[in-house]
Amino acid sequence: MSALHILVFPGLLFLALYALALQFVDRKVYARLQNRKGPPWFQPAADFVKLLGKETIVPNEANHFVFTALPVFALAAVTTAFLYVPIWGTSSALPFPGDVVVMMYLLAIIPLTFFLAGWNSSSMYAAIGSQRVLTQLFAYEVPLFMAILGPALLADTWSLSGIAAFYAQHPPMALLNLPGFGVALLATQGKLERVPFDTPEAETEIVAGAFTEYGGRLYAIFRLAVDMETVVLLGIMSVVFVPLFAGNPFLGFLIFLVKTLVMLFVLSVIKAVTARLRIEQMVRFCWMVLVPLSLGQLLIDLVAKGLME
Amino acid sequence: MAKVVIPLGPQHPALKEPANFALSLDGERIIGAAVNLGYNHRGIEKACESRTFLQDVYLIERICGICSHSHSTAFINAVEEVAGAPAPKRAQWIRTLVAELERLHSHLLWLGVAGHELGFDTLFMYSWRDRELVLDLLALLTGNRVNYGINKLGGVRRDITKDDVEKIRPVVDALEERTKYYIDLVTTESTLAARMLDVGRLCHEDALTYGASGPVARAAAVDKDTRRDDPYSAYGEIPFDVITDDHADVYGRAVVRVKELLESCKIIRYVMDNLPEGPLEVKFPRKVPAGEAISRYEAPRGEDVHYVKCNGTDMPERVKVRAPTLANAASVALMLQGGFLADVPIVIAAIDPCFSCTDRMVAVKDENSGAEGVMDWESLRRYSIEWYMERGVSFENIQSERDS
Amino acid sequence: MLPEALKNMFEKPATEGYPANRGDVFPNMRGKLNFEADKCVGCKLCSRDCPTGALTIEKIGDKQFKAVLRLDKCIYCGQCADSCNKSALSCTHEFELASLSQEDLKVEL
């Protein structure tokens, strides 16, 4: 049973397919917002297959093992994290108390692999890209953590399934978490390195940032990991901030799909209507706007919890 | 963090043409910049000398893919002056109309490129979509979208009918509407403003010292526009304003360009309303008498200067082109100084560079002896192979195209 | 920006799928040349004025000529059509002229 969970549903296979589907929706919505036709539905899969068929080049000066292992690390981290996201109801595949914290740490591994990948590439652009990855990590990770911490405090549990169960019983409580929801959406945009926070891989400045030297199969895996990360982050937010669940697993799964798609739409709109910020502007925005907001969120939740008791 | 020098170019996603900017970085901050041009020399000036004037017009038109009409008009004005056979009035006005349409498409193109450099691809898509309207108009009037081929020595090749005028009017109205939206967008969108304000500063004095021209100079409050200062074509008879701005940064350059779009719409309307009747061309001799002339032209990117020397045959003796980018390139190093690495693409894009129009031959001088040398293709090839061999790159397995 | 983007979302896309939709060309367009052999008198003004040397006129018989056009060299300026005093040359609207082999690009008109 667990092998099935890990490899097929909700594990690797489903996650990969849904990641490609979300990439398509993102690109299509982005294109339509720009008054373009957009790609056909199979484009993300076609891109992936094409990348798989390309030659893999490892720079001479890079450590060969580290260079090839890092994409797999990223993929493993994100796949593991997805096992704790409840997608067909209020319970995930392998829930345990404290899985929220484990999941956030697993997700923090991904930017670290980006950083190491860039640093190990021994290329100037990659080095600058990885510096920016790390700088940005410290900017968005704190508000994202705190934004999810608040609702968890209110639900009095460190398990994602527990949080889901609490808000399924008390849907109005989720209204208190609206500021946190906003913070989480923006921080997600930073974590996924999308406009306006795509400084680490700003194409016109530093080519492809940390991924400059990557190509072929290894880059395909990295790309897939980023798309999967999108699914996981949207999944977490859909559980923590949107209290819509169903007892029926099938219906619950449909609700999960709808919730993630709507949130992806919001992310695509943000991407379409903003320009890329400079790294120092991004850090300032995160610490001056997002962090105070998420602190306020914590305060709201603490007060609400006090009142409840 | 230690100082690093990174090469931006000759191949880099921010550059649409090869050029090299050597940036000394301290973290993200730029402490020094050097501009190296010369990767895209095509030898057009020399090629002009072995073609007839008639053929040169087409060659000159292909100096630039964006401001093709600017170059061909500047060249033709010079040749017509030497030959003493200026184009008739109606031809001059049609040239003016095409010139302003070209300015519209060039500035809209710039706006899109600027958006792309700032990671704002939606602006890029919108302004390039609207640019299609202008390109359609140009295709309607001249037959082609970019290398219009409307100019000929002594006149223009195609007339503008009443029907065409009726087709142009609604498009210009629509474009004016869109331009007002872009002015609003550039001046109010907060992420755009955050990336453009106080970026790539070139103050009034420096703009004069470095000889900046076109929108770069006008954004630094240098009130300079060849259309008004030294009128050519029909500009002497058309009322228009010269847009200046005193921000002296990328924001100012963007504002000057979008406001010039409105001005161009105004000029186009005036030309359509007052298009004089008359012949389209005068008879132009194949052989041009000996003489020389300089012609100045306000291209969308700045002042374009052509010098033509004729020797009495049907081919020019010397053609010299000073493209606007050459005037502006020198100031880029100054603009980059003290800025952020992230701003490099937009600062370079803000002069609206056109490197292949600018590049000329570079003479290689020995630093110590001062001796000049000429390398032919074979010795250059051998030199480059040796250069790479010393650094451990072998070419043994690479077949040379030239050998076969 | 936001209202503009959302408004555009529900408008017809500005881009088109190319091979299916070939778009319109304008009547003035200068495409591949058309040569009317019976009008040609063999003065070769056209090939003399051609900026790239793409067009050559060959004599194939008494007062009979053929035009050979190098599509890879032609810049579609239409100067030859302007230079021709007998209107033997004209521009068509044909523009999809790419080919993988250089041989195919040398056409007899």
Beta pairing partners, B298: B303
Would the CB atoms of B143 and C78 count as touching at under 8 Å? Answer: yes
Confirm or reject contact between A38 and chain C (CB < 8 A).
Answer: yes
DSSP conformational letter for A276: P
User: How many CB pairs (< 8 A) connect A and B?
Assistant: 75
Among A33-47, B144-158, B250-264, B388-402, where is mean pLDDT lowest? B388-402
Indicate if the pLDDT at residue A119 is higher than 90.
Answer: no
Task: Please give the average per-residue pLDDT across C17-31, as a whole number.
Answer: 82
The token duo for B124 is 């890029």
B130 pLDDT higher than 60: yes
ipTM attached to this prediction: 0.86
For tokens 């992420």, what's the residue?
B191
Q: What stretch of H or E contains A126?
A: helix A124-155
Interface test with C, best of B124, B126, B159 (most C CBs within 10 A): B126
Contact B233, B150 (CB under 8 A): no
**Mind listing the pLDDT tens digit for each residue in C31-73?**
888 888 888 888 888 888 888 888 888 888 888 888 888 888 8
Please tell me the distance in Å from B120's CA to the nearest CA on chain A. 4
Closest Cα of chain A to B38: distance in Å? 21
* Number of neighbours of residue C12 by Cβ within 10 angstroms: 8
Banded pLDDT at B403 (limits 50, 70, 90): very low
Please give the structure tokens belonging to residue B183: 């002015």
Distance (Å, whole) CA A231 – CA A86: 12
Residue % of chain A over a pLDDT of 90: 11
Tell me whether residues B55 and C14 touch, CB distance under 8 A.
no
Residue ranges of domains in chain C: 31-93
- DSSP-derived pairing of the beta strands B372-373 and B302-310: unpaired
Q: Which residues on chain C are in Cβ contact (under 8 Å) with A272?
A: 5
**A37 in C contact zone (CB under 8 Å):** yes
Q: Residues of B with CB below 8 A from A205's CB?
A: 14, 341-342, 344-345
Average pLDDT over residues B113-127: 88
pLDDT tens, residue by residue, B198-218: 888 888 888 888 888 889 999
- pLDDT given at position A1: 57
Of B129, B191, B341, Cβ closest to residue A275: B191
Does the beta-carbon distance from B141 to C82 stay under 8 Å?
Answer: no
Closest residue in A to C2 (Cα–Cα): A273
Task: Find, in chain A, the residue whose alpha carbon is nearest to that of B4.
Answer: A124
| C31-93 is classed CATH 3.40.50.850 | no
Q: In the predicted model, is pLDDT for residue B404 greater than 50?
A: no
Please report the pLDDT score of residue B361 as a whole number.
65
Numbered residues of chain B with Cβ closer than 8 Å to any chain C Cβ: 51-52, 54-56, 58-59, 62, 122, 126, 129, 132, 136, 139-144, 147, 149, 152, 157-158, 181, 185, 189
- Give the C-alpha separation, A176 to B231, whole Å: 67
**CA pair distance A181, A267, nearest whole angstrom:** 12
| Span A7-29, pLDDT tens digits | 666 678 888 888 999 999 999 99
Please give the mean pLDDT across all residues of chain B.
85
CA distance between the termini of chain B:
50
CATH number of B44-321: 1.10.645.10
| B397: confidence class by pLDDT, cuts 50, 70, 90 | low
pLDDT tens-digit profile of B308-355?
Answer: 998 888 899 888 888 888 888 888 888 888 888 888 888 888 888 888
First to last CA, chain A: 40
Distances (CA, A) of C25 to A177, B135, B137, B267: 57, 12, 12, 27
User: In this model, does residue B296 exceed pLDDT 70?
Assistant: yes
Least CA distance to A270: which residue of chain C?
C2
Q: Is the pLDDT of residue B402 over 50?
A: no
Å between A268 CA and nearest CA of chain C: 11
Q: Where in chain B is the domain with CATH 1.10.645.10?
A: 44-321
Q: How many CB pairs under 8 A join A and C?
A: 32
Q: Which of A65-69, A272-276, B16-20, B279-283 has the lowest mean pLDDT?
A: B16-20
Average pLDDT, chain A: 85
**A226-237 mean pLDDT:** 90
| Model pLDDT, residue B154 | 86
CB atoms within 10 A of CB A296: 15
Residue B391 clears pLDDT 90, i.e. is over it: no
What sign has the CA pseudo-torsion B285, B287, B291, B295?
A: positive
Q: Who among A35, A269, A274 is closest to C14 (CB)?
A: A35
**Diameter of chain C measured on Cα atoms:** 72
Over residues C68-94, the pLDDT tens digits come to 888 888 888 888 888 888 888 888 888
**B84 backbone φψ class: left, alpha, beta (φ>0; ψ -120 to 50):** left
* Best A206, A273, A277, A284 residue to mutate vs chain B (most B CBs within 10 Å): A206
Chains touching chain B through at least 3 C-beta pairs below 8 angstroms are A, C
Q: Write the DSSP string, C8-63.
A: HHTSPPS---TTT------TT---SEEE-TTT-----HHHHH-SS--EEEEEEETT
The answer, yes or no, to whether residue A144 has pLDDT greater than 70, is: yes
From the CB of residue C2, how many other CB atoms can be counted at a distance below 10 Å? 12
Q: Is the pLDDT of residue A3 over 90?
A: no
**Residue among B6, B125, B194 whose CB faces A277 most closely:** B194
pLDDT over 70 for what percent of chain C?
A: 100
Q: Identify all chain B residues contacting A195, using CB atoms and an 8 Å cutoff.
A: 119-121
Interface test with A, best of C6, C11, C16 (most A CBs within 10 A): C6
Does the pLDDT value for residue B401 go beyond 50? Answer: no
* pLDDT value at B400 more than 60: no
Find out whether B51 and B40 touch, Cβ atoms under 8 Å.
no
Are C8 and A38 in contact (CB < 8 Å)? Answer: no
Q: Do B342 and A198 touch (CB under 8 A)?
A: no
Average pLDDT over residues A91-112: 82
